[in-house]
Each structure stands twice: as structure tokens, then as C-alpha cells.
Amino acid sequence: MRIETKIANFSNPLYLESGRILEPYQIAYETYGEMNEDKSNIVLVCHALSGSHHAAGVYEGEKKPGWWDGLIGDGKAIDTTKYFIICSNVIGGCYGSTGPMSPNYPSEHAFRFGFPVVTIKDMIHAQMHLLSKLGIYKLKAIIGGSMGGMQALQFGVDYPNLAEHIISLAATYATRPWTIAFNKVAIEAIRNDPRFENGNYKKDAFKEEGLSGLAIGRIAGHISYLSPQSMDKKFGRNYVSTDGLFELFGRYEVERYMEYNTVNFSKKFDPLSYLYIVKAINTFNLSRGYDSLFDAVSRIKAKTHLFSFSSDFLFLPEEMEHIYNMMKRDNKECTYKEIQSDYGHDAFLVELHLFEEYIREILD
């Protein structure tokens, strides 16, 4: 599947939850498959913290496919021969949608810290405008994992008539202090890195060497995406070099993995954008704006499908179960599955074989 990114431009204001306004703004998105005549086959995919609108397929001249390519494609669980799939980069992101490094119109200078705080509600609000622009008012399903799963749930609550199915994986009803603490490592590490220059770094400043502050924060991230068991399997107690034992900085395999992946990530991902998206995750609370969580979920009309992963150390299974129990109390159409996996939080990206058939069934 050869893929191209499209850009949608909006000249009307986006009213944010904070009371601030984004105007104009743009959204980068991709689509896979074909829309049918009665527009009844549309699936919206929402991405997680480090993801983008590039959920599937391969760009011309590149090798690495989109982040959920195993799930989205011809004959796959989200079947591109059957469904028309849309995935857009979140507002605040750094892959084409308006974010802190976008020009603060009418100036040509980037917002940087002048960018308003955006929330999960704002992210889905922006996606509603994108759908309107595409002439779409009804969805077969909205699906996402982690921050994408938060968006799916928020869609269900805020726009109850939009989707037939809400599918949320490895998410929560409100971000707990445990996750906020993991994010705190990144916030402090980025802010304290002198090369971050309090947000006044040059564009592309980190393209070559990365930003160590973001890389360090990302180590904490990777810990929370994995599990003790998956790390045992992946790395064990192996050293990179046999001399490592008595060298102060002799590295274990797990340390090399952390270094390699996090430095690479910091070459590609904008640190200001990271701070803003992390803020959106921290402030996520499905009940905000409603009397209670029960009040919020009682608005949901879509058939709701909740998935957790048994070894998820970031958003614990009990959190998804809590939503399920609340929806059941309200006699909602809702299913919940705790997928048995050692992989940790990232199972929703990696262990597709454990849940893809469920997704296929829901959509069929």
C-alpha cells in the first residue's frame, strides 16, 4: 500500500477547552481503502503519544510501514478492501498538524511556549472538523490504543451519535498519578537540557544528534511501555560486551536498547510537542465537564469494546474494568477483555495476534 499524507486547512477558529482559540490551523491525515456510496464503512483510527497519522502502508522510498500496519490493510483485521480508514495527526503534534512549532499566524514565528494547552477533548474536537470537511457525519467505528484509546472513549462521551462502535485499548478513564509521574521524568529532563534553550532551539536543531533531555525522558517512557517479563525475554541480564561487568559504564543489553531507541526518537520528535502531548495525557479525565464518571459514560450510545493487557504497567487492567463495570451498571452495550500478555502496555502495538480477531469480529 503506497501512502501519501494530506493536509486539511481550517480558517475557522478551533475553540479549545481552555477558552483559548487556535486560528487558523491544519490537520495532517491519511486514508486507506475506499469510502462506499452510503458512507457506512468509515473507521477512524486515533494515534498514541509517539504515533502519527501514518498508521498503515509505506511511503514511497521508505521501508518502515505505519505504526498499526499489521492491523490495517488488505485482508487484515481492519480490512482496507472493506473499510475506509482515516487517521490524523493530533493537534499539538509534530507530524503536520498545527502544534507548538507551527507559525503563530499572522506572525511567521513559531508558537513555542505561546501555543495553548490542548486536551484530549480538543484533539477529538479538531478531528470532528476534519470529518465535517470530508463530508463524514457517521462512523462505523473509532479505534485507538493508549492516548488513542482515550480519544476513542472521549468521542463516545462527547459525540454519542457519531460512531456505531468505540474500541479502546490499553487506556483509562482518567490518567493516574502513576502515569503522571512517568511523564514527569520527560518534562524535567527536557526543561533542564540546556540545548532545549527554554524552548528557543533552532528548528531541526536535534536532527543530527537528538536531544538528550527527550531521550532520557523516553527511557522512563519505554519502561512504562514494557514489563519486567518482556524485558527478561528481550534482554535478560546480557552485557553488550563481555568486559561490561567491572566497567562503570559497561552496558547491559537493556541499556543499549534504551540508548539506541531513545536517542533515535529524540532526533525525530519535537520536544515542545512532546511536552504538550504529555500535558494532554496528564489532564485526561473522562468525567471533566460532567457530574461524575458515571454521568459521562452514561452519555455513550455506541457499542463499546474495552481491551486491557494483563501486564500493562502504565494503564492497569483495573482501569478499563472500572469503565466496563460502570457501563454495565447503566445497561450499556459494552464488552471487556483482559488480554493475557507478558508484553506490557506496548502489547497493543506489538502483539496484534492476541486481539486482531476480536477487532475483525466487531467490525464485521
Which residues have a catalytic role annotated? 146, 312, 345
In 3D space, the residue among 342, 339, 345, 293 whose CA is nearest the CA of residue 147 turns out to be 345
Size of the site for a copy of itself (CB under 8 A): 59
Residue 277 binding a copy of itself, by CB under 8 A = no
- Separation between Cα atoms, residue 268 and residue 246, nearest integer Å: 34
Residue 104 binding a copy of itself, by CB under 8 A = no
Rg of the chain's alpha carbons, rounded to an integer? 20
Residue 275 binding a copy of itself, by CB under 8 A = yes
- Separation between Cα atoms, residue 193 and residue 213, nearest integer Å: 5
Grid cell in block for residue 153 = 472513549
| Footprint of a copy of itself on 180-209 (CB under 8 A) | 180-182, 184-185, 187-189, 192-194
- Separation between Cα atoms, residue 98 and residue 250, nearest integer Å: 42
The residues that bridge with 335 in the sheet, in sequence order, are: 305
Residue 105: CB atoms within 10 A of its CB come to 13
Q: Which is nearer to a copy of itself, 87 or 110 (CB)?
A: 110
Residue 281 binding a copy of itself, by CB under 8 A = no
Stretch that binds a copy of itself, among 83-91, 230-238, 296-304, 326-334 (CB under 8 A): 230-238
State the minimum distance, in angstroms, from the CB of residue 108 to a copy of itself: 22
Q: Which is nearer to a copy of itself, 127 or 285 (CB)?
A: 285
* Distance from chain centroid for Cα 138: 22
Residue 227 binding a copy of itself, by CB under 8 A = yes
Judged by CB under 8 A, the residue of 231, 240, 350, 354 near a copy of itself is 231
Judged by CB under 8 A, the residue of 5, 136, 205, 235 near a copy of itself is 235
Cβ atoms of residues 268 and 87 within 8 Å: no
Residue 313 binding a copy of itself, by CB under 8 A = yes
The residue type of 198 is N
Residue 311 binding a copy of itself, by CB under 8 A = no
Give, as one character, the DSSP assignment of residue 3.
E
- Separation between Cα atoms, residue 109 and residue 112, nearest integer Å: 9
Cβ atoms of residues 51 and 103 within 8 Å: no
- Separation between Cα atoms, residue 94 and residue 86, nearest integer Å: 18
| Footprint of a copy of itself on 118-177 (CB under 8 A) | 174-177
Residue 248 binding a copy of itself, by CB under 8 A = yes
Site for a copy of itself, rule CB under 8 A: 17-20, 113, 116-117, 174-178, 180-182, 184-185, 187-189, 192-194, 212-213, 215-216, 219-220, 222-223, 226-228, 231-232, 234-237, 245-249, 252-255, 258-259, 275-276, 279, 282-283, 285, 313, 316
